[in-house]
Structure 1
Amino acid sequence: MAPNQHSPRRPGRFTWSQTAAAAAIAIVTVMAVLPQAQASESVGEQQRRDIPAGKRNVILMVSDGMGPQSVDMARAFRKWQTGTESVLYLDGHLIGQSRTRSSNSPITDSAAGATAFSCGKKTYNGAIAVLPDHTPCGTVLEGAKAAGYKTGLVATTRITDATPAVFAAHANSRSYEDLIAEQEIGEHHPLGRQLDLLLGGGRCHFLPGSNGGCRDDNKDIIKLAKSKGFSYVGDRRGFDGLKGGAAAKLPLLGLFADNNIPFEIDRRYQNNVYPSLEEMTRTALKALSDATRDSNQGFFIMIEGSRIDHAGHGNDPAAQVHEVVAFDRAFAAVLEFLEQDSTPGILISTSDHETGGLSAGRARPNILNSTSHSAEYLGEVLENHGGDRTIARRLVEEGLGIHDASDREIDSVVRNGEKGFAELISQRAQVGWSTGGHTAVNVNIYASSREDASALIGTHENTEIGTFLAKYLRVDLNAITKRLEGIRTTPRRRAISDSSWMGKPLSAEELEELKHRHGNYTTKA
């Protein structure tokens, strides 16, 4: 798999001003039909009358990198596919928008963006549930665990990546994935094991390099997890053995890819190897529901459609529409679960940020539908064939569905690989991108019930989502934070050279680089 960091793209035929104007129009259009939250009431004051008494389940879905234009493009794509006035399941549940800036930048990264959801606090780009003063902040998942809830994480990226990590780990840098893997199974976490279920990719950070992994030490975290009572599944056969969650034994660790699970546009041809986001979602919900059937408390789970973001970084519109549609199917699966389950519950869905500066007002969905693979996949195939020009033309025809590519376009593909494929399909589909990084665009908030989530109607800071979740769960995050601050653990052996259980604090230079990562196109996105 290619790494999840992508080189930035220069603006294409759409200029910054055009993209900004399109984004502004989209935001105004959406917000014109959204009732605004009462200015005189806080989220907490509004919410007090919305929380059900007794047992409840709370499901947070995060569509990483999905902005309003991503939804528009996916809707047009589905409409073209079905030949009807098709809408997404998401469309009937839009209640507001979120402002996404971090504590040190108008453009957040996933670590800071998701920490706003998990802790209800702003922090610096790169921080994993750690505040700007390098102290840990209690998360809604940790609060839920302390209150007796079962807990889970599902992702299509590495389960140690920023968004899932911020709910069950604390690290001064998102790059400390070896450390995050340990904390996710309860090793060196001050509060002990916090997770009952983990499903996703990222096996390499759970295995030493001597055993096919990518850890910097010799620890076998999968073996360690088993010794702590985890059941483990690591392939499609093992996943199928869970029987949709009915045969799951908690705590459960499921790692189905060394790195990220492939883009949905590619995964669909490998369904016998990798489970889909919808399948993992249904399995997780069933497993957690069964495990809490006789409990006084329900469960909390975070489910991430991780690779919408990666498609945005790669400026790949075909990969992105398939990711958004896959997320929409998982969203529908959660709605179905809530309708059928006897325990009251709520679904909140939002994005941590928008990626790519997408402008899709003139997008041609028929071109996207003709694309069979992601630019990432096609770029890897071309690289494996030494950049052969004949292979490049064949990949353009069979992979992108473009049979009239000019010699100049083929030259660009040969020269630029993945980037060349992405630029070609974007140009043909008339999709514009302004960056290969993140943007400051407001992102949508969705809920299973407007009434239950009335406190989030309108426009809000992303931290208000974290506050809402904590209040709905009836957990005290300040109390969890005090417990974390009062405990110090030192790993016996670490992948990083520091005595802190959260890893070495970042230097001023490192913090500055993260601050400008998505706004300075001379650095990586």
Structure 2
Amino acid sequence: MKKHVLFLFLLVFVHVLPSFGQEAKYIFYLIGDGMGLNQVNLTEIHQAEVQHKDNPIPLVFTQFPHVGFASTHSLSNGVTDSGAGGTALAVGKKTKNGVIGMDSTGTVPYKSIAYAAKQKGKKVGIITSVSIDHATPASFYAHQADRDMYYEIGKEIVTSNFDFFGGSNFLKPETTFDHKKAPSLFPILEKAGYNVLKGKDAYAQLPNKSDKIILMNSDGSPIDALKYAIDQKPNDLKLADITSAAITSLHKNNTNGFFLMIEGGKIDWACHANDAATTIQEVLDFNASVQLAYDFYKKFPNETLIVVTADHETGGLGVGNGSSSLKTKFLSHQKTSHAELSNAIGNLRKNNPNATWDDLKNLIAAQTGLFSKITIHETDRSALEAAYQKSFVDHQNETAKSLYASDDKIAALSISILNRMGSISWA
């Protein structure tokens, strides 16, 4: 199954300065990774359906006064990846897939808009809902021939001298690209003057606000990404928390302004897993950070520029599957992401070796609304029951793999059925 397909054009939403040609003092550059036109449309349609409104409820950025289009192909592929896509957005030049901030040969470094802002005396922040060394954020501060050079990318934070970084963590803080043990990034970053903060309240509790901050998940939390918005608890670090801290930090004692890149990175992850309900919540989570940027704009309307865009679309999302009557409201019955549903099914199998079909059906019903709130077709019920037989009775567990997940096959099948019932298709 194709998990990553091309949208040749993506929308770019811009809230411009009142005076044409005026240089912006404060720049917000927000990137919804994998957020194509249909991800935006689905979210607005779904919000209207659950609130019983006739027309789509617009997101903050779809109300901006200026809209443009951007092509997304890379130099090497019709379907870009986040390395080439991020580089194009950061630099204004295309490169081949997998390359970060360099030309297609991986030998000539490019200067990003973030570096240009820093050279003009602005403070610079790079934040994301995934790891700080992931492809899109890396494209703004690093220059590497391979997006998987996580340790090498992380070290470039020091040479960037940017002021604020935020995300889940670092993927390989002690291991080089060639799998060799290396000095931990954290002492290196601290020696360079960065105050490494962990957890939701860490920035607010910092007694003396440092000029250089790295804000990330607390110890024991996932390092690869923040939790999906649909799975988050009150104490979990959210993209909006990082955005708020970044704005406060960058604006403090600053007469030259700032550049802040904000990535909603897990829109892409949810779409790779073909999980529409989780995708909607990720778009709304991203929109919350756009709202914070817009709130800042309202305080400084003559000095603030906001750009909202995406690096590519993911999944080939389709809204509507043969009928003009949409039922995206069914997606609101899903209470957890594909990952957490998979974990719940795995725990049922582990903790209750004699779990019955009714036990599994009740779990699926509680998490997705299937069977309890949504009447499913007999063929779908039979498919789920057959999957139960194979997994729980015959002990032949199967997984559904996407770029960032390996889910229980029953979880993937349940979400696929819910997608279809909710008028959603994927390429």
Question: TM-score when scaled to structure 1?
Answer: 0.67
Matched, 1:409 2:384: yes
Which residue of structure 2 aligns with residue 88 of structure 1? Answer: 59
**CA distance, structure 1, for counterparts of residue 302 and residue 249 of structure 2:** 14
Which residue of structure 2 aligns with residue 287 of structure 1? Answer: 249
Letter in 2 for 1:69: N
Change (3 A) 1:316 1:412: farther
- 2:127 aligned to which of 128, 146, 154: 154
The 3-state SS of whatever aligns with 1:238 is coil
Letter in 1 for 2:199: D
Mapped contact 1:154–1:198 kept (Cα < 8 A): yes
Letter in 1 for 2:239: L
**CA distance, structure 2, for counterparts of residue 103 and residue 77 of structure 1:** 36
Q: How many residues align?
A: 381
Change (3 A) 1:242 1:427: farther
**CA distance, structure 2, for counterparts of residue 240 and residue 169 of structure 1:** 28
Matched, 1:109 2:50: no
How far apart are 1:410 and its partner, in Å?
Answer: 4.1
**CA distance, structure 1, for counterparts of residue 160 and residue 37 of structure 2:** 37
Mapped contact 2:115–2:160 kept (Cα < 8 A): no
**CA distance, structure 2, for counterparts of residue 303 and residue 383 of structure 1:** 34
Which residue of structure 2 aligns with residue 461 of structure 1? Answer: none
How far apart are 1:80 and its partner, in Å?
Answer: 2.1
How far apart are 1:340 and its partner, in Å?
Answer: 0.9
- 1:260 aligned to which of 212, 218, 225: 225
Change (3 A) 1:90 1:228: same
Change (3 A) 1:234 1:74: same
Task: Give the gaps of 5 or more residues in structure 1.
Answer: 1-7, 35-46, 187-191, 210-214, 435-525
- 1:128 aligned to which of 95, 100, 109: 100
Question: TM-score when scaled to structure 2?
Answer: 0.81
Which residue of structure 2 aligns with residue 51 of structure 1? Answer: 21
Matched, 1:250 2:211: yes
- 2:197 aligned to which of 233, 236, 242: 233
**CA distance, structure 1, for counterparts of residue 362 and residue 128 of structure 2:** 33
Letter in 2 for 1:399: Q
- 2:339 aligned to which of 351, 376, 401: 376
Change (3 A) 1:50 1:251: same
The 3-state SS of whatever aligns with 2:241 is helix
Task: Give the gaps of 5 or more residues in structure 2.
Answer: 392-397, 399-408
- 2:183 aligned to which of 199, 219, 226: 219
How far apart are 1:51 and its partner, in Å?
Answer: 2.9
**CA distance, structure 1, for counterparts of residue 240 and residue 25 of structure 2:** 22
The 3-state SS of whatever aligns with 2:105 is coil
Once the two structures are superposed, residues 145-177 of structure 1 have per-residue CA deviations (whole angstroms, 9 ceiling, x without a partner) of 122111111100111110000100111000111
Which residue of structure 1 aligns with residue 164 of structure 2? Answer: 197
Identity %: 22
Letter in 1 for 2:192: K
The higher relative CO (CA closer than 8 Å, separation ≥ 6) is in: 1
**CA distance, structure 2, for counterparts of residue 61 and residue 322 of structure 1:** 17
Which residue of structure 2 aligns with residue 316 of structure 1? Answer: 275
Change (3 A) 1:100 1:9: closer
Mapped contact 2:3–2:315 kept (Cα < 8 A): no
84-93 or 249-258, which moves further after superposition?
Answer: 84-93
Letter in 1 for 2:38: Q
How far apart are 1:278 and its partner, in Å?
Answer: 1.8
**CA distance, structure 2, for counterparts of residue 417 and residue 221 of structure 1:** 39
How far apart are 1:57 and its partner, in Å?
Answer: 1.3
